[in-house]
Amino acid sequence: MRELRIACFVCVVAMAFSPANAQISTGEIFGRVTDGTGAVMPGVGITVSSPALLQPQSVFSATSGGYRFPNLPVGTYTVTFEIAGFKKTVRTGVVIQTGFNAEINVRLEISSVEETVTVSGVSPVVDTKSATLGSNFSKEVLDAIPSARDPWVILEQTPGMVMDRENVGGNQSGQQSSFAAHGSSANQQWNLDGGTVTDMASSSAPGYYDFDSFEEIQITTAGGDASQEAGGVAINFVTKSGSNQHKGSARYYDANKTFEADNTPEEVIRQGSGAGNPIKDVAEYGFEVGGPIRKDKAWFWGAANRNTIRVGIIGFLKPGAPADSRSIDDLETDLSVLNNQNFKLNYQAAIGHRSTFLYSRGDKIRNARGASLTTRLPATTRQSGPNNYYKAQHQWTVNNRFLLDGQYSYYDAGFVLDLHSDELATVQRLRYVDQNNLDDRSGTYSGNIRPQYEAKIEGNYFAANRLGGDHATKFGFRWRSTPYETISRSGGGAQVRIRASGQNEVDIIRDGDT
């Protein structure tokens, strides 16, 4: 049986006397232009430029003096105001983050000669019309924070977030943490470059990501954008793009047992306890490269990385190791390998028409998922799951007041939890009931097929000087389909329940397809 979930919405943001919130992967610059007396100035030419834009964008101030640049990519902008008979004014260093609305109000001064007034280093830091609670982490902040280089570690840094575990030095890297904010862990949403990628079967991320691929990570805990499908925590990933300059980088990181100390008290050691699963080795290497295919016309960006996490499993000694050994080398290894590749293409066919294509691939390989005191190694599973994400987007600036944005995405998502080794397919699992239902000898297979399809169209309309003020309306239509299927099998088609009393039972387990 297959379950099909389809989500559709048409939303109109109520008109207000200020611009509407920006999309979840972009920001906005807006404001009003006046003269030295405070009178509004229509017809002023306003241009925004940035390394994040293929080409500068221009509008004219409306009859109310108001202007608006919605759906701007994350980056640092320069805003220029000019009209005959007045000094040209330039505002530099305007920083736009995901979901941020920067208000730039300018008063132009009369001038009989050509003059330019440049205002530097004054970027708005308060979004006067946003009720969103959360945090934005730019690439500079992501690079500066000492962390295990994992998106779930960034969740730990968000005020008000409660995690089910702490990733210390990478010992939890490659594993998804559960989290909650404001007392709730429900209705979470994951987004990649404005597209929803939430795994609806588990309300979690569908995969794992290259930490160095992000231009910014935004995490909202309340008051999210109207286009979000749920009111819980939203994690918005914004990937990097190319630019008009060729650039690239490479990296290698390594943390291993050489840098690890053991501070377990002697009284705890005498009781046979440890200090948690120790790190054997965490290594990551990768590269990125980007630049112009044709300047001011087409850009490319690509990246790849591999992250290998080796953690010792407390309570699982290698064959032949001393029973009381505390050596990391004597512990069995829980191995997780993350492979990621990304490619993005930006293209501007004509003024007002911008297109973006994104391809992202992720794969996780783990050799002993589920190992614990009640799940011995033969009962664990091998995890694998190459996921491929495709997203195409086109933005059309119809005129100074009207903008349309359309996108379509497909996510070939899912993963496999296979038996610990192929020969266990015909071996029955043993469950020792009197030992806290300890599983041994064999395990189960689970094939999880979870594709995602999404299409949406969003529009922004700016109505100036209507009903006593300026009004911005945001509207849209969104369709999303997330069918999923799970195929399950048990090793040997049965499970033997063993009791100390000798009264044992056998459960016959049929293959499943739900």
Closest C-alpha to 214, from 102, 308, 340: 340
**CA gap 205, 58 in Å, rounded:** 38
**CA gap 468, 235 in Å, rounded:** 37
Is 407 within the bounds of a domain?
yes
Where is the domain boundary, 91, 119, 147?
119
Residues 71 and 150 in one domain: no
The CATH number linked to 295 is 2.170.130.10
pLDDT tens readout for residues 128-157: 667 778 889 999 999 888 888 889 999 999
**CA gap 400, 45 in Å, rounded:** 11
Residue 320 backbone zone (phi > 0: left; psi -120 to 50: alpha; other: beta) = left
Is 167 within the bounds of a domain?
yes
**CA gap 200, 188 in Å, rounded:** 10
Q: Return the structure tokens found at 203.
A: 């309300």
Residues 53 and 170 in one domain: no
Is 7 within the bounds of a domain?
no
**CA gap 348, 218 in Å, rounded:** 26
Question: How high is the pLDDT of residue 17?
Answer: 34
φ/ψ (deg, to 5) at 357: -125, 130
Question: How high is the pLDDT of residue 473?
Answer: 87
Residues 454 and 341 in one domain: yes
Question: How high is the pLDDT of residue 314?
Answer: 78
Is 249 within the bounds of a domain?
yes
Question: How high is the pLDDT of residue 367?
Answer: 92
Is 426 within the bounds of a domain?
no
Where is the domain boundary, 65, 93, 119?
119
**CA gap 9, 208 in Å, rounded:** 28
Is 432 within the bounds of a domain?
no
Residues 236 and 112 in one domain: no
Which residue, chain included where needed, has tokens 């935004």?
A: 218
Residues 59 and 188 in one domain: no
Which residue, chain included where needed, has tokens 């005191």?
A: 373
Where is the domain boundary, 74, 92, 119?
119
Question: How high is the pLDDT of residue 230?
Answer: 73
φ/ψ (deg, to 5) at 488: -130, 145
- 126-163: burial string, b at 16+ Cβ within 10 Å, e else: ebebeebbbbbbbbeebeeeebbbbbbbbbbebeebeb
CA dihedral (416, 331, 167, 358) in degrees, to 10, reads -30
Residues 112 and 137 in one domain: no
Residues 373 and 455 in one domain: yes
The residue ranges of the chain whose pLDDT is under 70 are 1-23, 112-115, 121-122, 125, 128-129, 269, 271-276
Residues 74 and 167 in one domain: no
Question: How high is the pLDDT of residue 379?
Answer: 95
Is 493 within the bounds of a domain?
no
Residues 48 and 176 in one domain: no
Residues 319 and 467 in one domain: yes
Chain-centroid distance of CA 489 in Å reads: 33
95 is in which domain, residue-wise?
23-119
Q: In angstroms, what CA-CA distances link 251 with 212, 284, 509?
A: 10, 8, 48
Residues 332 and 274 in one domain: yes
**CA gap 374, 334 in Å, rounded:** 16
Residues 109 and 147 in one domain: no
How many domains in the chain? Answer: 2
What is the DSSP annotation of 355-388?
Answer: EEEEEEEEEEEEEEET-BTTB-GGGSEEEE--EE
Is 474 within the bounds of a domain?
yes
Closest C-alpha to 11, from 224, 315, 250, 243: 224
The CATH number linked to 111 is 2.60.40.1120
Question: How high is the pLDDT of residue 1?
Answer: 40
Q: In angstroms, what CA-CA distances link 503 with 32, 205, 255, 500?
A: 82, 43, 49, 8
**CA gap 110, 267 in Å, rounded:** 81
